[in-house]
Amino acid sequence: MTSSSSPLPATADVVIIGGGVMGCAIQYHLAQLGVPNTVVLERSVLAAGSTGRSQAICRMHYSNPVTTELAWQSLQVFSDFDARVGGQSGFVGTGYLVVVEDVDAAGLERNVAMQQELGVPASLISADDLARLAPSIRLYDDERAAWEPLSGYANPYLVTTSYAQRSREAGAQIALRTSASAIELDGERVQAVTTTNGDRIAAGTVIVAAGPWSKPLLAGVGVNVPLIPVRHQVATVARPVERVPEHPTVGDISQSFSFRPDGSAFTMMGFGDDPETPNPDDYPEGVDPSDATSALHRLGRRVPGLADSYYRGGWSGLFTTTPDWHPILDAIPGITGLYCAIGFSGHGFKLSPAIAKAIAELIVENRPRDIDLTPLRYARFAENDLLQSSYRYRVLA
Ligand SMILES: Cc1cc2nc3c(=O)[nH]c(=O)nc-3n(C[C@H](O)[C@H](O)[C@H](O)COP(=O)(O)OP(=O)(O)OC[C@H]3O[C@@H](n4cnc5c(N)ncnc54)[C@H](O)[C@@H]3O)c2cc1C
């Protein structure tokens, strides 16, 4: 990989801004399509942003077909990563349980029916089914559940660096500790990216995949994307394995949090979307003790055997949200050669293989082969044609 001290090329076919899972996976797919003359610019190190802080839960429960399909295509890549990409994804199949209150039962039924129409293995389950599938989990009388047998979690660092390694082998370049400062236009066409080190790479195609930092980059060329960062916390507890040897990954919509196993002896919880809008360059990166205590209480209510687990530590990261909590995957209208893969709203990791493939195809072949990204177009905000969620806890569907 190119480091900040290595010279950057003067020209490239494509410059990708951001070395998270999206930027690296897009670069890989461009190389697969015969476009290896590309550069990823990463201001820090690979996966330094949301990717490295992700819980990396891979489930397919969504309220709309396009993200369900992206999640399903991606799951098939994560679970067969070495054969399909090369390298490790760290995927662990745990099964995925969605729990909602009765008030959300219609949404749950609708989502599962839609999944089944798309061929996704998913079903509504009863309390008796759950007792067989996951005896450690408690379902209350006013709750309903659905089950995905193939879902689980992966390792976001391994996935990102595996894509990067495969791209590098194909001849692509990755410049670490190299921050893009501006996108240069020639009239209404992209012509170059400049860096804070004073370098300039001429390129006719630029992809912005810079997480919450995408907003100022795009504002520099007059594009105002509706991105708002939201702080989200993750905490890990030691699991008393003699009582709870295993449990599935759970999207606990009833209690507005999620949890998954973390290896064989820990459980990882995600919780606490902070109402304050954080500064991506300066926000509290630790865990608020009161929020961790509240999450542990919810965990104990859902898995009574984990009620007195002890807290091992945690961190915070940023969701880059859009008004409908779904990404913007598009060519930017009015600027030839400018694309964005942004606004993943806390659930982009699980979609990354399919999104990256679709964006690479959009660039090289003018349209994705296996998915129609129209519902995720940039213009949907101006057209007031937003995606709808079945639930109030939007990150979970
Ligand atoms: C706490 C947490 C838990 C999550 N849990 C899940 C989950 O369970 N399942 C799931 O699917 N998703 C989850 N997500 C969301 C998922 O992690 C993200 O959607 C995904 O990682 C986004 O990847 P990205 O490459 O777009 O962004 P990022 O990983 O943020 O990458 C953007 C990169 O751009 C770089 N950059 C920024 N500005 C510049 C610049 N000017 N020049 C060069 N480089 C620049 C940054 O350093 C960064 O590395 C979670 C996120 C968080 C924060």
In a domain, 71, yes or no: no
Q: How many whole angstroms separate alpha carbon 77 and alpha carbon 351? A: 10
In a domain, 1, yes or no: no
Residue type, 127: A
Q: How confident is the model at residue 392 (pLDDT cuts 50, 70, 90)?
A: confident
Here the tokens at position 112 are 């599962």
Residues 173, 215: one domain?
A: yes
Ligand 1 atom closest to the Cα of residue 258 is 8
CATH of the domain at 130: 3.30.9.10
What's the whole-number average pLDDT of the chain?
96
The range of the structural domain enclosing residue 141 comes to: 94-150+228-321
Q: Which residues line ligand 1 (CB under 6 A)?
A: 17-23, 41-44, 48-51, 53-57, 179-180, 209-211, 213, 217, 232, 234, 270, 317-319, 344, 346-350
Residues 128, 235: one domain?
A: yes
Residues 241, 122: one domain?
A: yes
User: Ligand 1: which of 50, 218, 258 to mutate, most ligand atoms within 8 Å of CB?
Assistant: 50
235, 311 contact by CB (below 8 A): yes
Single residue among 297, 321, 345 that ends a domain in this structure = 321
Please tell me the predicted confidence (pLDDT) of residue 3.
45
Residues 210, 345: one domain?
A: yes
Q: What residue has token string 């429960």? A: 61
Residues 143, 240: one domain?
A: yes
Reference 248, options 70, 97, 89; nearest CA is: 97
Tell me the three state secondary structure of residue 299: helix
Q: What angle do CA 169, 153, 275 make, to 5 degrees?
A: 105
Region 297-320: mean pLDDT is 96
Which residue spans within the chain are E strands per DSSP? 14-17, 38-41, 57-58, 92-93, 96-101, 123-125, 143-148, 152-153, 173-175, 180-186, 189-195, 200-202, 205-208, 228-238, 249-252, 257-262, 266-271, 310-321, 328-331, 338-342
CATH of the domain at 335: 3.50.50.60
Tell me the three state secondary structure of residue 119: coil
231, 276 contact by CB (below 8 A): yes
Q: pLDDT tens-digit profile of 165-202?
A: 999 999 999 999 999 999 999 999 999 999 999 999 99
Ligand 1 atom closest to the Cα of residue 178 is 43
In a domain, 215, yes or no: yes
Please tell me the predicted confidence (pLDDT) of residue 1.
52
Q: How many whole angstroms separate alpha carbon 326 and alpha carbon 324? A: 5
Backbone angles phi, psi at 190, to 5 degrees: -70, 140
Q: pLDDT tens-digit profile of 24-36?
A: 999 999 999 999 9
Residues 330, 383: one domain?
A: yes
Residues 257, 286: one domain?
A: yes
In a domain, 8, yes or no: no
Ligand 1 atom closest to the Cα of residue 317 is 53
Q: Tell me 283's DSSP state.
A: -
In a domain, 76, yes or no: no
Single residue among 291, 321, 351 that ends a domain in this structure = 321
Residue 384 host element (H or E): none
The protein residue whose alpha carbon is closest to atom 3 in ligand 1 is: 54
pTM of the complete model: 0.98
Q: Which residues pair with 206 in a beta bridge?
A: 15, 338
Distance (angstroms) between ligand 1 centre and the Cα of 149 equals: 27
pLDDT over 50 (residue 5):
no
Residues 32, 116: one domain?
A: no
Please tell me the predicted confidence (pLDDT) of residue 36.
97
Residues 6+ apart with CB under 8 A from 173: 1, 2, 8, 9, 12, 38, 39, 40
Ligand 1 atom closest to the Cα of residue 344 is 19
Please tell me the predicted confidence (pLDDT) of residue 6.
65
Region 153-171: mean pLDDT is 98
**Rg (the chain; Cα; Å):** 21
Q: What residue has token string 């998270």? A: 20
In a domain, 62, yes or no: no
Domain count, the chain: 2
Residues 160, 218: one domain?
A: yes
Reference 316, options 3, 79, 52; nearest CA is: 52
Tell me the three state secondary structure of residue 11: strand
Single residue among 321, 353, 386 that ends a domain in this structure = 321
The protein residue whose alpha carbon is closest to atom 32 in ligand 1 is: 210
Q: pLDDT tens-digit profile of 74-93?
A: 999 999 999 999 999 999 99
What percentage of the chain exceeds 90 in pLDDT?
Answer: 95
pLDDT over 70 (residue 303):
yes
Tell me the three state secondary structure of residue 193: strand
Q: For residue 320, what are the CA distances in angstroms to 74, 250, 297?
A: 20, 22, 27
In a domain, 78, yes or no: no
The protein residue whose alpha carbon is closest to atom 19 in ligand 1 is: 348
In a domain, 87, yes or no: no
Region 353-369: mean pLDDT is 98
Region 107-121: mean pLDDT is 98
Please tell me the predicted confidence (pLDDT) of residue 94.
98
Distance (angstroms) between ligand 1 centre and the Cα of 208 equals: 12
Here the tokens at position 257 are 């949090």
Here the tokens at position 331 are 């060519």
Ligand 1 atom closest to the Cα of residue 23 is 25
Residues 252, 297: one domain?
A: yes
Residues 41, 116: one domain?
A: no
Residues 297, 235: one domain?
A: yes
Q: pLDDT tens-digit profile of 378-389?
A: 999 999 999 999
Strand pairing category for 338-342 and 328-331: antiparallel
DSSP 200-235: EEE-SEEEE--GGGHHHHHHTTT-----EEEEEEEE
Q: pLDDT tens-digit profile of 207-237?
A: 999 999 999 999 999 999 999 999 999 999 9
Q: pLDDT tens-digit profile of 253-293?
A: 999 999 999 999 999 999 987 788 999 999 999 999 999 99
